[in-house]
A and B are shown apart, each in its own frame.
Chain A
Amino acid sequence: MKIFSKIKRNFSDAAVMSGRMMRHIFRSIDTLITVIAMPIMMMLLFVYVFGGSISTGSVDYINYVVPGIVLFCIASGVAYTALRLNNDVTKGIFERFHSMPISKSSILGGHVLTSVVFNAFSTVLILLFAVVIGFRPAAGFPGWLLVTGILLLFTFSMTWIAVLFGLMANSYEGAGVFSYILLLLLFISSAFAPTGSMPGIVRTFAENQPMTPIIETVRSLMLNEPAGNNALTAVLWCAGILIVSYTAAMLIYKRRTA
């Protein structure tokens, strides 16, 4: 019974924390523009401006590019997780929470939960918009279930990188820097153009970095094609990143609150 009430308390604390972060997001025009409007602009730009000159074989360019846009949206979304967490750490709210009789896990947990829920929300918006401008996925229910699974895993691992940077950075400006690296990785991947057309070294890099197998897996699942080895590679990358960043983040968290 005691354990039950403790779990209940943890959840209710995490829900209060998340409620707070959701208010932050929806009161910040900046976040909404960067995380929802920007990816939509990117999608329009790639589909209507660049897309025509990129050869994606038998696949329509819009069907090709949507997975990359979704990852772009998540990578920009987690930057705000880092910024908001860093703000809490440096502005004293963190200390207030830690000196209160609340469950410790809810303090970071609230940020993680918010990140996952908000990124899921913006991903759905992006996908709906994509359908409006002609995205026609072929996946059935099992396919979408797998897409949801891999995107959630990706969001979790990116969120924990964000938590790591949010805890580590000494300033608001520093906290979001990692997301530029994520975005750069996306540009040098198969997100917007097939790697086959890239010159040697770039191609090798593109094919062996984490973004490409994740994008390939999501794309194959959405188009109802076999994902092959990419699926395993994608899951391993995500799980690896998750474990490393979670462990590092918890170490820094313990040191910051010791």
Chain B
Amino acid sequence: MEQTNTAISVNSLEKSYKNLKVLKKISFTIQKGSIFALLGANGAGKTTTIKILTTLLKPDKGSAAVCGYDVLRQPDKVRSNISLTGQFAAVDVILTGRENLRMIGKLRHLPEVNKRCDELLERFALKEAADRRVATYSGGMCRRLDLAMSLLGNPPVIFLDEPTTGLDPQGRMAMWKIIKGLARSGVTVFLTTQYLEEADQLADQIAILSEGKIVAEGTAAELKKLLPHVHIELNFHDENDLQMAKDLLSEYNTSLNKENLTLSVATDGSIKQMADILNQLENAGIQVAEFAQKLPTLEDAYLTIIGENQKNEDVK
């Protein structure tokens, strides 16, 4: 195989289940050693994409290659180069953590299985729980074990399907740290997520998948330019204060909601603007009852991006 910098390439991939089109001609390429995040809501087609790339599903049309091997024509070669950590921890709860690892090690016909298992148990903070049945593990421990099982045999490409869904914040942070560490060691990571923040934290490259189409692709910074602005939401005691605040902040783009007595102020997300807004209100003696910063959600992102797409099409 010729040496290239591409770990995964996907070309006009299509897949339907009966009459339902799940993937509509998606294409992307992923650089070796990078973290790629496929961002999308439930039902967008993320898991289908992962299943095709890991040879579990056959595409209807288009092609996909992992490490230069075609998923349809050379599935065995693909399987030797990848590891899949599915959406639900695919661990055996009847076995102990160590037994789970040993089983995968034996199936991969690795030398020195015991030594590798000990290393991974240590690295994923599972050493103490190693000889306990997995049924007694917490959600975070199961995910870590699942990932450790994927890493046995050092596959160059790792697929993580929603690696932090259902984890508590602590577990999520731990998982992020591990994923970043993986990419530093040269592994290519393909992950799916529903969380914009997660993609932002981890990924070198993000693609947003919506209803089977990639609607936006780029680095986190590039995508953020497309997102709606950060809003500050101010809540007041009465309508009078609300109106005064709106007049005071006329230089900003504001929208007011009389029912809830809230004023939503669009900002660029900087501390400077936030401080300026609060200072102006303070100096004018307007009492703010509550105050919150609203980050753009994935939904906002979709709506904005899909809206932009439609506008562009209208122009054409």
Complex partner residue of A101 from B79, B86, B149, CB under 8 angstroms: B79
Verify if A96 is at the interface (C-beta below 8 Å from B): yes
B166 → A minimal CB distance (Å): 13
Contact A257 B94 (CB under 8 A): no
Contact B94 A23 (CB under 8 A): yes
Residues of A within 8 A of B88 (CB): 91-92
Residues of A within 8 A of B84 (CB): 95-96, 99
Most-contacted residue by chain A among B84, B89, B106, B107 (CB, 10 A)? B107
Contact B90 A95 (CB under 8 A): yes
Band of interface residues on B: 20 to 34
For the complex, give the distance between the alpha carbons of A91 and B134 in Å. Answer: 14
For the complex, give the distance between the alpha carbons of A16 and B88 in Å. Answer: 23
Contact B76 A99 (CB under 8 A): no
Contact A16 B107 (CB under 8 A): yes
Residues of B within 8 A of A19 (CB): 103
For the complex, give the distance between the alpha carbons of A257 and B57 in Å. Answer: 7
Count: A-B pairs, CB below 8 Å: 63
Complex partner residue of A93 from B58, B90, B106, CB under 8 angstroms: B90
B109 → A minimal CB distance (Å): 7
For the complex, give the distance between the alpha carbons of A12 and B133 in Å. Answer: 24
For the complex, give the distance between the alpha carbons of A228 and B206 in Å. Answer: 73
Type the 1/0 row for A17-51, where 1 means its CB is closer than 8 Å to any CB of B. 00110011001100000000000000000000000
Contact B94 A100 (CB under 8 A): no
Residues of A within 8 A of B107 (CB): 13, 16, 97, 100, 102
In the complex where A92-B86, A92-B88 touch, is A101 in contact with B56 (Cβ < 8 A)? no
Band of interface residues on A: 20 to 34
Verify if B80 is at the interface (C-beta below 8 Å from A): yes
Residues of A within 8 A of B54 (CB): 95, 99
In the complex where A20-B95, A257-B56 touch, is A96 in contact with B79 (Cβ < 8 A)? no
Contact B95 A98 (CB under 8 A): no
For the complex, give the distance between the alpha carbons of A97 and B54 in Å. Answer: 11
For the complex, give the distance between the alpha carbons of A257 and B178 in Å. Answer: 30
Chain A residue nearest to B86 (CB atoms) is A92
In the complex where A101-B79, A101-B108 touch, is A23 in contact with B95 (Cβ < 8 A)? yes
Complex partner residue of B58 from A27, A95, A99, A258, CB under 8 angstroms: A258
A197 → B minimal CB distance (Å): 45
Contact A100 B57 (CB under 8 A): no
Contact A91 B57 (CB under 8 A): no
Chain A residue nearest to B105 (CB atoms) is A16
Complex partner residue of A20 from B55, B89, B92, B159, CB under 8 angstroms: B92
Complex partner residue of B90 from A13, A96, A102, A258, CB under 8 angstroms: A96
Q: 25 pairs across A/B with beta carbons < 8 Å?
A: A13-B107, A16-B107, A23-B94, A23-B95, A27-B133, A28-B94, A91-B88, A92-B86, A92-B87, A92-B89, A93-B90, A93-B92, A95-B54, A95-B84, A96-B84, A96-B86, A97-B107, A99-B82, A100-B79, A100-B104, A100-B107, A100-B108, A101-B76, A101-B79, A258-B57
